[in-house]
Amino acid sequence: MSSTASLLSVFNALPDATLLLTAELRIEAASDAYLAATLARREVIVGRLIFEAFPDNPATPETRAVHNLRASLKQVLATGQAHTMARQRYDVPDPARPGQFVERYWLPRNTPVLDGQGRVSHLLHTITDVTPGAESEAWQRATYDELLATRQQLRQLNRELESRVQERTHALEQTRQEAGRQRQRLENLLLQAPAAICILNGPELVYELVNPVYQQLFPGRRLLGYPVLEALPELRNQPIWHTLQQVYHTGQAHTESEVLVQVAPHEGSALQDFYFNYLFQSRTDENGHVDGVVVFAFDITQQVRVQRSSAAAAHQLRLLTDALPVLIGYLDQQERYQFANHAYQAWFNQEPEKLLGRPVREVIGEQAYAGVQHYIRRALAGEQLSFTARMPYREGFIKHIRTSYVPDIQGQEVAGFYTLVSDVTPEVLAHEQVQTLNEELAASNEELRLQHAELAHTQQALLEAAQRRAEERETFYQIFEQTPALIALLRGAEHRFEYVNQAYQGLFPGRRLVGLTLAEALPETVEQGFQALMDKVYQTGETYYGNELLLRLEQPAGQPPQDMYFTFTYQAYREKGVLAGVSIFAFEVTGQVQARRQREAEHLRLLGLFAQAPAGICILAGPELVYEFVNPAYQLLLPGRELPGRSIFAAVPEIQGTTAEAIMRHVYTSGQAHEEQALLIPLKRPGDGVLENRYFTFVYQARRNEQEQIDGLLGFVFEVTAQIQVTEALRESETRFRIMADAAPNQVWAVRPDSTLHYANQAFLDFVGVSLEQYTATGWAAFIPPEELEQAQLTLETAIRTRSLYMLEHRMRRHDGQYRWLLAQGAPSFYPNGELYGYVGSAIDITELKQTNQQLTRTNQDLDNFVYAASHDLKQPVNNLAGLFEEMHRSSTFPDPAEEQLLVPLIHEALQQLSSTIDDLAALGQAQQTRVMPTELVSLADLTEEVLNTLEPQVRAARARITTDFAARPALSFARANLRTILLNLVGNSLKYADPARPARIHVSVWVEQNQPVLMVEDNGLGFDAARHGAGLFHLFQRLHTHTAGTGVGLYLVHRIVQANGGTVEVDSQSGEGATFRIRFGAA
């Protein structure tokens, strides 16, 4: 038998008259042959119950047609076994005469179609029209008696003729039976294959066949009999539709993997994303013209989703760990980093990837390591720890930390531990600052004087209905005239036609044969060698048998030649013992030849289809299951192994004794198909032979021979190892994420795109004091003060809508009923395709920090008030003191002129310095008292001129050359008094700290950067080491040069004004090279 189980792939084009019925006996499909035999139309009968479409003929109730057919169908449904009925009269409605019936006799056969669980899902009702046979039975008996009375020679010839007819009929019947068996196997293959398979017919690609797997993709959609775009209109503008058209028009197969197709499974439902691996193969008719497309597809949507989910989970884990304001890492037993989040970069000035594999001691430094070494050893011993510590990581970089060590216990061994480090330096320093400020406030009067400072059916087809009808023959010539066989008598050596029957003459319409020689009547037979064959028979008397020989017949009116095939006998006949001529008995077998060739072509095409299928397909023969066929995809599953001709148990010895062997042997012995999902089969790896775990999903079904005995298995095999590994990796990733998240001291959560909670860690649940289910049911509305809820919800919804990061300070009720301040930060998480997965974020309790800041604010306010009051109160006494001194100096004389020259300048300088200090403090106090001043459009040229007029004496003394460039922004929108203070202090400092060795050069300019004005003051003065002193430059009362008078208030005041207005101050300087100050204002 054939190595494959397929001959035909198109249901409607089956040569058998066949109906496809549901288990409820409703007609789902009808072959063209069935429609022709029953005079029915597809659109009238499809969808109706069979007995509604074909009722009993009320004129012949004795036939019991409906009753007998119903009994047979019920028997098949009940037993699952095919049933062939005896000849049954079942008249069909006459479409030309409504209400009338046409007499018909049938040989019906009903066959079950089983689903994957072996249950009957459909029935195949196939009929053979035997009406002519029934009418001619009596006639055939009489004809046979008459033939026995003919002359002996004619009887002999007739016997030979009947023998040949019977042989051909028998051969044809065997061919039909074989076709039926092969169609049955193909049907089972297509119906039970795990792939989605359909056949599309004609240029409009009408669904002609749909197997169950394909239909399950669209459970609510009507496909069979509809064009693709009518059944699934949403495919019109998708690439898959254009690919189908291309395959139909070009005839070239197309294979593609992981293709996105958006379809609605149910009529009117929303579009859903499906992913397929598919093969589109053109189907051709007997003339080689494309008349349809065969679709072989595999739904891999779940695999794609799992992969994307895994990628999203990994992405979420990285995003979450990088978004948390804590250092998250993992140390192994060798104290080497195996994971470090993004926060490590800010602390250790290295990308996290460069930390992997390095010892913690090397990364954090000896001094810091000494402080945590004993904690590390305890964690590696399996102890979970939390502690705080002061960590001197390097010179000038000391952190106060709160740390959690969570051991990673695998089995009975500690593989390492997770480390979560929070920076609590601001809290520690804040407490220290409060303490210091309190002390400063207590002694503020004394300190004033001392100057002091801040984110996949075809169907089976059975018997071909071809019944040879013999016509009435009264004499042997009449017999010859009516026989379908081609009969001719040629006389003499020149082979002159003496007699031809009607069938023979019909081959050559318009040609005269009788009376002409073979060469005269049919010259093409000479050219093609037939006359030479006849010459030999005439000369030797030996009969010649020709089998399926081609005769190319010339056609009239310039038509192309017609190729016809014949099986024939050239036999010499004698008269009075003398050879008189040659007789011809022939049958035209063109249809059989073409059908066989079409089957062979389809066989080859199916092999090609299987060869290109993305699934592994194999055929196993005999009880030892010897590989008879494997496609390339199957061979790729077992690289380097010889398969064809070997038993599967010899080629793949690893499966002996396993579940896989038991399944295959059970299918072979029971005949029941078996589908298995993700079965673990350890196989030796090519090369080194090491066993590796591999997972396979497969379907095996029994193959049967012409005696309906099982002689092998058909298999579809898919490897799903990668999918299983992805699933396991996802599970491991989720486990690791939950361990880290639950160990984190921060609250960690994740919400869906609709803002509903998806996950919360243990710290979050401990805070609110309810389970995740309880919190999900109520949402945060029950925990946030009503007056803050609307703003909090709006902040979260706005961030989700704009796909942006967000930060939110809000209060939330703790499990003890106390409202605590939280700082929440969230970041969007996306699937690899850009679709929003949700938001992940964290929150920390900042209640103590909030309280500390409030205390600092009050303390600073008190200090500001004191400075302002004190400077105001001291101003007048100092002025009075200066006046008194002047009066005393005028009215008194010093006994010693030298003493006068020494003391008077000293007293003037002290009074001047005291007055300047009081003026600076007054300006500082006023700046801190007036938090917001009205802005106006200030001309920089005018303001600079005013400042220079004020500083004229210093300009002259420093021999300064001052230049300006305000072309980029001639005027700024700012509080004029504050802008004057900034310019006055910066230019004043440039003059004060000019290098006496060279004339002072000062350049004041403005440029715009990202719509932000930047004011710059550059000089060539003494300068200072900005890398060393830059951090403290803007502290109150900070001075770097002591050779000139000053209070250290000016730069503090500049920094305070700029910072209060949303700007920043930058400085670059080197000793001896001058200084450059850049004031970056907010957008103006």
pLDDT tens per residue, range 709-725: 999 998 989 899 988 88
pLDDT digits (tens, 9 = 90+) for 131-181: 875 555 534 444 344 444 434 554 565 566 566 656 666 665 666 666 566
Lowest-confidence region among 470-479, 888-897, 1022-1031: 470-479
Average pLDDT over residues 294-321: 70
Look at residue 147 in the predicted model and tell me its pLDDT: 41
- Residue 487 confidence (pLDDT) above 80: yes
| 492 pLDDT more than 50 | yes
pLDDT at 676: 92
Give residue 311's pLDDT.
60
H helices, E strands: number in the chain? 36, 40
**64-117 pLDDT, tens per residue?**
999 999 999 999 999 989 999 988 999 999 998 988 999 999 889 999 988 878
Per-residue model confidence (pLDDT) at position 672 = 93
Compute the distance between CA of residue 760 and CA of residue 320 in angstroms, rounded to an integer.
13
Residue with tokens 């945590």: 372
Decide if 6 contacts 602 (C-beta within 8 A): yes
Which range has the worst mean pLDDT, 145-149, 202-206, 347-351, 838-842?
145-149
Q: Which pLDDT belongs to residue 452?
A: 33
Confidence band for 812, pLDDT divided at 50, 70 and 90:
very high
pLDDT the model gives residue 476: 45
Query: 918 falls in which pLDDT band (50, 70, 90)?
Result: low
What would the mean pLDDT of 667-695 be, rounded to a whole number? 92
**Between vectors from CA 1056 to CA 1050 and to CA 1059, what angle results, nearest 5°?**
140
210 DSSP β-pair partners: 198
> To which H or E segment does residue 523 belong?
helix 523-527
pLDDT band of residue 454 (cuts 50, 70, 90) is: very low
Provide, rounded to the nearest whole percent, the portion of the chain with pLDDT above 90. Answer: 30
Domains parsed from the chain with CATH numbers: 17-191 (3.30.450.20), 195-306 (3.30.450.20), 485-595 (3.30.450.20), 613-725 (3.30.450.20), 746-845 (3.30.450.20), 931-1080 (3.30.565.10)
pLDDT at 444 over 50: no
Helix axes 425-442, 847-891, angle to 10 degrees: 30
* pLDDT at position 708: 86
Inform me whether the pLDDT recorded for 7 exceeds 50: no
Q: How confident is the model at residue 3, as a pLDDT?
A: 32
| 35 exposure class (CB count in 10 Å sphere: 0-12, 13-18, 19+) | middle
- 3-state SS assignment for residue 449: helix
- Whether 47 shows a pLDDT value over 70: the answer reads yes
Q: Is the pLDDT of residue 509 over 80?
A: yes
Please state, in angstroms and as integers, the Cα–Cα distance from residue 923 to each residue in 76, 383, 858, 984, 986, following that order.
106, 59, 20, 12, 15
| pLDDT given at position 350 | 86
pLDDT mean over 332-360: 88
Please tell me the number of Cα atoms within 13 Å of 302 on its side-chain side. Answer: 7
Q: Is the dihedral of CA 361, 364, 367, 373 positive or negative?
A: negative
Residue 459 pLDDT level (bands cut at 50, 70, 90): very low
d(CA 966, CA 940): 7
Average pLDDT over residues 678-697: 92
Which of 2-11, 373-382, 605-614, 830-839 has maximum average pLDDT?
A: 373-382
Return the pLDDT at 431: 65
Which amino acid, one-letter code, is at 964? T
229 has a pLDDT exceeding 90 = yes
- Classify burial at 463, counting beta carbons within 10 Å of its beta carbon; exposed 0-12, middle 13-18, buried 19 or more: buried
pLDDT score of 674 more than 90 = yes
Q: Does the structure show a pLDDT above 90 at 557?
A: no
Binning pLDDT at 50, 70 and 90, where does residue 863 land? Answer: low
Q: What is the DSSP letter of 654?
A: G
Task: Write down the pLDDT at residue 751.
Answer: 87
Q: What is the pLDDT of residue 612?
A: 72
Nearest-5° Cα angle at 838, 832 to 844:
125
| DSSP one-letter string for 722-733 | HHHHHHHHHHHH
CB 127 within 8 A of CB 17: yes
Confidence label for 473 from pLDDT (cuts 50, 70 and 90):
very low
Distance CA 178, CA 461 (A): 10
> Is the per-residue pLDDT at 705 higher than 90?
no
Is residue 771 pLDDT above 70, yes or no?
yes
- Which residues, in sequence order, are CB contacts of 76 under 8 Å at separation 6+? 82, 83, 110, 111, 112, 120, 123
In terms of average pLDDT, the best of 418-422, 776-780, 906-910, 941-945 is 941-945
Query: If you average pLDDT over residues 557-569, what whole number do you get?
Result: 86
Token reading at 8: 């035909």
pLDDT reported for residue 895: 75
Please provide the DSSP assignment of 799-831 as one string: HHHHT--EEEEEEEE-TTS-EEEEEEEEEEEE-
Cα distances from 363 to residues 152, 390, 394, 796, in angstroms, run: 115, 16, 10, 38
CA angle 155-158-160, nearest 5°?
Answer: 110
- Listed in sequence order, the residues at least 6 apart from 623 whose beta carbon sits closer than 8 Å to its beta carbon are 668
- The answer to whether the Cα torsion of 607, 612, 615, 618 is positive or negative is positive
Q: What DSSP character marks residue 28?
A: E
The sign one gets for the Cα dihedral 706, 710, 712, 717 is: positive
CA distance 609 to 278: 11
The answer to whether 189 and 618 have CB atoms below 8 angstroms apart is no
- Residue pLDDT, tens place only, 362-412: 999 999 899 999 999 999 999 988 888 888 888 888 888 888 888 888 878
- Summarised one tens digit per residue, pLDDT across range 881-899 is 766 667 676 677 777 777 6
Q: DSSP assignment of 764-788, as one string? A: HHHHHTS-HHHHHHH-GGGTS-HHH
Distance CA 578, CA 569 (A): 20
Question: What does 683-724 look like in DSSP terms, one character per residue?
Answer: EEPTTT--EEEEEEEEEEEEEE-TTS-EEEEEEEEEE-HHHH
Mean per-residue pLDDT of the chain? 80
pLDDT at 613: 73
Residue 1055 burial by CB count (10 A; 0-12/13-18/19+): exposed, middle or buried?
Answer: buried
Q: How do strand 819-830 and strand 544-553 relate by DSSP bridges?
A: unpaired
Hey, is 85 helix, strand or coil? coil
* Rounded alpha-carbon distances, angstroms, from residue 8 to 253, 331, 484, 683, 937: 18, 64, 28, 37, 89
Tell me if residue 609 falls in helix, strand or coil.
helix
pLDDT of residue 317: 55
Q: What average pLDDT score do residues 555-565 get?
A: 83
Distance, in Å, from the CA atom of 440 to the CA atom of 56, rounded to the nearest integer, reads: 113
Confidence of residue 992 (pLDDT cuts 50, 70, 90): confident
Q: Is-contact 666 674, C-beta < 8 A?
A: yes
Do 855 and 847 meet the contact criterion of CB atoms below 8 Å apart?
no
Predicted pLDDT of residue 778: 85
Mean pLDDT across the stretch 474-485? 56
pLDDT score, position 17:
87
Q: How far is CA 607 from the centre of its chain?
A: 31
> Alpha carbon of 1033 to those of 555, 776, 1068: distances in Å?
111, 52, 12
Beta carbons within 10 angstroms of residue 1001's beta carbon: 19
Q: What is the Cα–Cα distance from 454 to 439, expressed in whole angstroms?
A: 14
- Spatial contact of 5 and 609, defined as CB atoms under 8 Å apart: no
